[in-house]
Amino acid sequence: MEQSIWQREQAHLTNTSAQIKQAIQLLEQSLQKQKNDIVEERTFVSSEFNDVSGESAISFSQMLQTMALREREYMSASEQLQKAKALYKTPYFGRITIINEDGAPEQLYIGLSTFREPTTQDVAIFDWRAPIASLFYENTTGDAAYTIPNGENVTVEITGRRQYKVRYDQLLQVLDADIYIGDDVLQQLLADTAKTKMKSIVATIQSDQNAVIRSSNKENLLVLGPPGSGKTSVAMQRIAYLLYEYRQTMNARNILLISPSDLFNDYISDVLPELGEDHVQHTTFYRLLQEAGLQRYKAETHYANIERLQRADRDMYKAYVYKTSTAFSKLLQRYVQSLTKANMPFYQLKLDGDVFASSKELSHLFYTKFYGLDMDFRLKKIRTFLQKRLAVKKQADFDVTVAQLRAMNHYVGTDEEITMQAQQQIAKKYGQLAHAIEQLHFVNTAKIYVQALAKAGGTKHEVIAAMTQKALQKRQLHYEDIAPLLFIELRIKKLQQYPTIKHIVIDEIQDYTPLQLAAIELLYPKARFTLLGDRHQLVHPLQKEVLDPTFTEHYKVVELTKSYRSTNEITTYMRAILPHTATESLGVQGEKPAVLYTTDAHYDETIVQLVTKAFVEGESFALLCKNKAACEAFYARFSALLPQLQLITAEQKTYMKGLLVMPAYMAKGFEFSTVVLADADATIYTDKDELLLYTIVSRATRKLYIVSTHTLPVPLACIPEAYYDVEENV
C-alpha cells in the first residue's frame, strides 16, 4: 500500500473517529438533560396530582402523555448512543468509489450503522444495509445498479472497492479488492479459529449471499446450500437487514427464529447484538406444542427420537416413515377438510357423572344447527351455546348452594362470606368443564389422527393406527406424532394464532416434514418465511423424504454453492462421501484429514496421544460418537485421563468451547476447530449412515481425525486414499 494512501486513510479515520466522539458527547449531554427533565416531571406529577378527579384528571392525562413521549425519545436517543459507541470501536470496514448518476465521483464508507457528520449532517458512514451499500458487496467494478425504496433502479459506475481493518481511530489494514470482495480479508477471517460463538460476516458478505440477505420480505425464501456455505450466517444477517429495511413496521418482537435447540440459539445469540440489533425471539418446534396448548401430552424430544429410531424395529420404522411422508401429509389435510361434511368425532361432556352434552348432540349442533360455517366458527358457536347452558346451570346451582348454606343450623358467616363460599364451591365444581368448553376439548383430535392413519387401508396402516392409539391413550407422543396432532388441533380449532409474528426464519429445514411446516404456518398466519437447509445434512436415521417439491412450491428457491467453513482438504474429503455434490471450496489451505487405525488394546493410548498433540487450549475440539450411550461410555473411560473433557448432552443450554464429547447428531449446525470421529467402525456406521458421516466431517474447520479400531465405515472407506493421511497405532 502506497504510503500516501495509508496516510490519507489514516487522516480520514482520525477525523471520522473524532466526529463520532463528538457525537457521543453531544448525545450523552442530551441524554443527561432528558433524564433530568423526566425525573423532574415525575417528581412534579407525584407531588401535584394527589387527586386526579375533575379538572385535574385532564391535566394529569395530558401530563402522562407528555411523559410517555419524552420516555420514548429518551429510549431512542439511548439506542443512538449505543450505535455511536459501537461505531466508535469500528467506524467502518469498507469503502466504495463510484461515479454517481450525475457523473460526479463519490466515496462511500460502509459501517455497522449510518453516521452523519454532526455539523453538516452529511452521511459520513453508510449503514451496510442501506440500498447504496449493496454495491459494496457486488462482485464487480464498472456499471452497477441498486434499488431505492420506491423500487426505482439507480445506475452508477463502481470504480473501486476498499476494505479496512480498523480499531477505534487506528488503521490496521487497507486492502484494495476491486473484483472479489473480501478475498484476503475473508481468508484472514476464516483462518481465525479463536471465535467462541458465531460471528457476523458483515464485512465479507459474498455477492450471492448478499442477494439472499436483501431479498424482499414479500417473498418466501428457501435457501439451500452445502455445509459451510453460510446459511446460518446469512439468516442472521437477513434478520438484521429486515429490521433495518422495514424498521417502520417491524421490530425484533415481530421476528421468530425456529432453530434445532436452545444450545444452537445460544451459539448464534451474539450475532445480532454485534450488528447493533436485539436478538430476536427464539423457539424450537418441540416447544410449539405448549404454544398450542397440548401440554397434556408427554412428548418425545427430537434427540430422543433419533436415539430411539437408531434402534427401531420394523413396526416403528414403518410408522415413522409413514407419519412423516408427504403422502400422509396430503391425506391428513384432505381428511381434516372432509370433516366439514361428516365424521367429526366428539367427546361427550359430563358434569358430576351426568351427561352435560352428548357427542350426538354436539354432532347435531356441528352438522345441522351451525352447518355452513367454517369448522372453527361452528366450534366457537357450539362453545357459546354450551357456555350459556353452563351459566344457567351454574346460577341455579349457586342459588341452591347459597340457600343450603343459609339453612345450616350453625353460623357459617355473613351474607358476603356465604356468597363467596358458594362461588368457590361452584367454581370448583364447574371449573374443569368450563375450561374444556373454552378450549374446545370436546373435539376428539386424537381420534381424528388415529382415523386418518388408518384411512389408507390395509394391515400396515391399521397396525400403525392401533400402535398410535395405544400411545395417545397413555398421553404419550412420539416426535413424529407432534406435527400431525398439532396440525389437526390448529387447523380445526384455530384457537392459537400469533399474528404479531411477521417473519419466521427456520434453520436446518431439511429436518422438517411437510406437516411440521403446515402446522407452523397455521400458528403464525401473518408470517413470511425464510427457510434454510441442505438436503444432504441428515443425521436422523430414517428421514426419507426431504424438501419434497410440494413442500417448497410456494417458495423462491436460492442455491448457495460455495463453502467457507473448512480447509480445502476437509471439504475435498467431505465431498468425496457424496461425489454427486459440487461444492466449491473457498476455505483456507490446511492439512489433510487423518485416519488413525488402532486396536481395542491401544484405543485409550491413541485418543490420549491425539488430544495431547492436537488440542489447543481456547479452541473447540469435539470428539463425536454415534449416540448418547457411546458418549457416556467414552466420558467414563476418559474423564480421568483427560480432565478437561466435558460431556455435552441434550440438556446443555449454553454453548461452550474446549474439549467436548457429544453425540454425532448433536454436532449438526455447529463448527469446531477440530473434529474427531472417535468410533469410526463399520460395525457402528453402515452405508445407511452416509449422510450422518457427511454432516459430521463437515463440522471441522481446521482438523479432522477419524479413529477406527476395526474397519472403516463403507462411506469413508470409499474415499480415495489420496484425500487423507493414514497413521497406525496397533
Ligand X SMILES: Nc1ncnc2c1ncn2[C@@H]1O[C@H](COP(=O)(O)OP(=O)(O)OP(=O)(O)O)[C@@H](O)[C@H]1O
Number of helices and strands (H, E) in the chain?
24, 26
Contact present, 620 and 675 (Cβ < 8 Å): no
Nearer to ligand X, 284 or 423 (CB): 284
Is 231 annotated in some ligand binding site?
A: yes
Annotation-wise, does 56 bind a ligand? no
Instruction: Find out whether 78 is annotated in a ligand binding site.
Output: no
Q: How far is the CB of 234 from ligand X (least distance, A)?
A: 7
Residue 678 to residue 625: CA distance in whole angstroms: 6
Residue 209 makes contact with ligand X by CB under 6 A: yes
The reply to whether 671 sits near ligand X by the rule CB under 6 A is: yes
DSSP 380-427: HHHHHHHHHHHHHHHHHHHHHHHHHHHH-SS----HHHHHHHHHHHHH
Residue nearest to ligand X (CB): 230
Query: Are the C-beta atoms of 159 and 99 separated by less than 8 Å?
Result: yes
Question: Does position 702 bind ligand X by CB under 6 A?
Answer: no
Q: How far is the CB of 211 from ligand X (least distance, A)?
A: 13
Q: Which is nearer to ligand X, 84 or 588 (CB)?
A: 588
> Please, which residue, 570 or 659, has the CB nearer to ligand X?
570
Q: What is the dihedral of CA 584, 565, 89, 117, to 10 degrees?
A: 20
Q: Grid coordinates representing 709? A: 479400531
| 534 forms part of the interface with ligand X (CB under 6 A) | yes
- Asked if 163 is part of the footprint of ligand X (rule: CB under 6 A), the reply reads no
Residues forming beta bridges with residue 173, ordered by sequence position: 165
Q: Which of 60, 62, 156, 45 is nearest to 100 (CA)?
A: 156
**Which run of H or of E encompasses 497?**
none
225 binds ligand X (CB under 6 A): yes
618 is in an annotated binding site: no
How far apart CA 187 and CA 589 sit, in angstroms, is 10
Nearest to 564 by CA among 176, 178, 181, 206: 206
**Dist CA 316 CA 264 (whole Å):** 29
Question: What separation in angstroms does the CA of 104 have from each of 97, 107, 110?
Answer: 11, 10, 19
Q: Hey, which bits of 323-362 come out as E strands?
A: 349-351, 354-357
* Beta partners for residue 158, in sequence order: 98, 142
Our finding on whether 186 is near ligand X (CB under 6 A) is: yes
Q: Which of residues 542-571 bind ligand X (CB under 6 A)?
A: 564-565
> According to the binding rule CB under 6 A, does residue 260 interact with ligand X?
no
Segment contacting ligand X (CB under 6 A): 222-230, 405-413, 445-453, 591-599?
222-230
Number of residues that bind ligand X (CB under 6 A): 24
Please tell me the distance from the alpha carbon of residue 666 to that of residue 624, in angstroms, as a whole number. Answer: 9
- Least spacing, CB of residue 712 vs ligand X, in Å: 23
Binding to ligand X by residue 537, rule CB under 6 A? yes
Q: CB-wise, 533 or 715, nearer to ligand X?
A: 533
| Binds ligand X by CB under 6 A, chosen from 94, 230, 260, 663 | 230
Question: Is 111 annotated in some ligand binding site?
Answer: no
CB of 555 to ligand X, least distance (A): 17
Q: Tell me the sheet residues that pair with 234.
A: none
Q: State the cell numbers at 390.
A: 353452563
**Residue 585 contacts ligand X per CB under 6 A:** no
Q: Is 259 in the site for ligand X (CB under 6 A)?
A: no
205 binds ligand X (CB under 6 A): yes
CB 535 → ligand X: shortest distance, Å?
Answer: 11
Radius of gyration of the chain (CA): 31
* 510 near ligand X, judged by CB under 6 A: no
- Spatial separation of the C-alpha atoms in residues 140 and 159, rounded to whole Å: 9
Nearer to ligand X among residue 162 and residue 493 (C-beta): 162
533 is in an annotated binding site: no
Asked if residue 128 binds ligand X (CB under 6 A), the reply is no
Q: Which of 16, 19, 113, 206 binds ligand X (CB under 6 A)?
A: 206
Q: Which of 12, 95, 129, 231 binds ligand X (CB under 6 A)?
A: 231
CB of 285 to ligand X, least distance (A): 17
Q: Determine the residue type at 583.
A: T
Quick one: which segment of 53-61, 78-86, 196-204, 495-503 binds ligand X (CB under 6 A)? 196-204
Among 189, 252, 436, 714, the residue binding ligand X under the rule CB under 6 A is 189
Measured CA to CA, the distance from residue 370 to residue 366 in angstroms comes to 5
Consult the annotation and say whether 228 binds a ligand: yes
Is residue 225 a known part of a binding site?
yes
Residue 292's nearest CA partner among 632, 560, 520 is 520
Q: Which of 215, 229, 567, 606 forms a contact with ligand X (CB under 6 A)?
A: 229
Please report how close the Cβ of residue 205 comes to ligand X at its closest, in angstroms.
5
The CB-of-539 to ligand X minimum distance in angstroms stands at 11
Distance CA 679, CA 628 (A): 13
CB of 695 to ligand X, least distance (A): 8
Integer CA distances (angstroms), 212 to 114, 134, 207, 220, 275, in order: 22, 12, 9, 11, 17
Q: Which amino acid is at 700?
A: A
Known binding-site positions: 225-232
By the criterion CB under 6 A, which residues form the site for ligand X? Answer: 186, 189-190, 199, 201, 204-206, 209, 225, 227-233, 534, 537, 564-565, 669, 671, 698
Known binding-site positions for ATP: 225-232
